[in-house]
């Protein structure tokens, strides 16, 4: 049994899609008490006016400034900021004794050289890269216990690692020539507007982007120890993610054997559903679930591994809360939805 001790929580960057999703989840968390939520562009505005869906839990709450959030007495801080913005904040939060969960990419990579190559600038706190724990609970649960700095994985790397991880760990897939194709809802791009997200262009359309150099590629390679060619696609849905990954097998493997590998890895995991049929993009919407499946093509010898998740929940905010639960010694399912929304 865990000890009942409500923790004071702040969310910095709470006005974006991932930050708003954290607020939604915190509203149902029995041991995380929100003390301040900041949104720099929305500071002073009511949360319920900015995100009406949160009105039931935050009717009278107002977004604070980043400075106000940094000064708050919080035991646990979620950073839901654009990439590059957490590096200057994390050192002072850790020095103050807070536990930090960063939803951005600032502390996901262990190498400062890799960070500079893929993100285009030097890391401002390279000494902390080796101290951050990668927050994919199903693969790093033991390291997360008691962690002070957690780097919540990206949505694409989460879906990819969940699909391919068991085969990489078992040495059943080649580490080179891995191909990952993914479909994502537009909320993964954040609240900011762009030509690509303009309704007339997006509606009824599908578009590949970030070819050959998407920043999540290095994160996938680091997690799986594999060479990956990654192609993400933007599709006209608000949320959801579907990954299809291809890898050569290193020994004889059947579809039945591949499914046995997935069941052995995930049957005891509360948020992973192994399905015999390929998962669909909508299966996990609104939940912290990840659906996985696999088939092996006897004609070509290729392993086809698939996964689906909600890019804002298991792919971002839900995963961050799950990792925080583990770090704080709480049941990892606490405050997280196990049931998706349908239709």
pLDDT tens digits for 181-235? 999 998 877 666 677 777 888 888 899 998 999 999 999 999 999 999 999 999 9
Strand, coil or helix: what is 106?
coil
> Which contiguous run of DSSP H or E holds residue 95?
helix 90-95
Q: Which CATH superfamily is domain 7-153+314-327 in?
A: NAD(P)-binding Rossmann-like Domain (3.40.50.720)
pLDDT at 201: 86
CATH 3.40.50.720 in the chain is located at 7-153+314-327
B/e letters for 245-256, b = 16+ CB within 10 Å, e = fewer, are: bbbebeeebebe
pTM for this structure? 0.95
Give the architecture-level CATH label for domain 155-310.
2-Layer Sandwich (3.30)
Q: Residues with catalytic annotation?
A: 155
pLDDT at 2: 45
CATH 3.30.360.10 in the chain is located at 155-310
The per-residue pLDDT for range 44-98, each reduced to its tens digit, is 999 999 999 999 999 999 999 999 999 999 999 999 999 999 999 999 999 999 9
The per-residue pLDDT for range 283-318, each reduced to its tens digit, is 999 999 999 999 999 999 999 999 999 999 999 999
pLDDT at 161: 98
DSSP letters spanning 33-75: EEEEEE-GGGTTSBHHHH-GGGHHHHTT-BPBPHHHHHHS--S
pLDDT higher than threshold 90 for residue 106: yes
CB 233 within 8 A of CB 209: yes
pLDDT at 269: 98
């Amino acid at each position: 049994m865990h000890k009942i001790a409500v923790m004071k929580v702040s969310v910095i960057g709470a006005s974006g899609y991932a930050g708003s999703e954290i607020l939604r989840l915190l509203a149902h968390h029995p041991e995380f008490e929100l003390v301040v939520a900041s949104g720099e562009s929305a500071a002073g505005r009511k949360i319920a006016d900015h995100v009406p869906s949160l009105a039931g839990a935050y009717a009278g709450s107002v977004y604070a400034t980043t400075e106000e959030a940094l000064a708050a007495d919080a035991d646990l801080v979620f950073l839901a900021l654009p990439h590059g913005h957490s590096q200057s904040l994390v050192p002072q939060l850790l020095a103050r004794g807070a536990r930090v969960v960063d939803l951005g990419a600032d502390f996901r990579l262990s190498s400062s050289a890799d960070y500079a190559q893929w993100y285009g600038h030097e890391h401002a706190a390279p000494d902390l890269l080796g101290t951050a724990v990668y927050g994919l609970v199903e693969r790093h649960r033991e390291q997360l216990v008691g962690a002070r700095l957690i780097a919540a994985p990206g949505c694409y790397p989460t879906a990819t690692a969940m699909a391919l991880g068991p085969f990489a760990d078992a040495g059943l897939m080649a580490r080179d020539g891995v191909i990952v194709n993914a479909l994502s809802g537009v909320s993964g791009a954040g609240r900011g507007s762009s030509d690509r997200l303009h309704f007339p262009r997006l509606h009824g359309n599908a578009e590949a982007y970030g070819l050959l150099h998407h920043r999540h590629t290095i994160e996938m390679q680091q997690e799986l120890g594999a060479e990956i060619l990654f192609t993400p696609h933007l599709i006209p849905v608000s949320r959801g993610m579907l990954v299809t990954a291809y890898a050569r097998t290193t020994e004889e493997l059947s579809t039945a054997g591949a499914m046995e590998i997935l069941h052995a890895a995930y049957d005891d995991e509360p948020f992973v559903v192994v399905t015999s049929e390929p998962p669909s993009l909508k299966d996990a919407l609104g939940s912290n679930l990840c659906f996985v499946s696999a088939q092996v093509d006897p004609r070509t010898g290729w392993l086809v591994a698939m996964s689906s998740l909600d890019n804002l929940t298991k792919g971002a905010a839900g995963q961050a809360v799950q990792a925080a639960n583990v770090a704080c010694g709480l049941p990892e399912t606490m405050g997280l939805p196990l049931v998706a929304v349908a239709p």
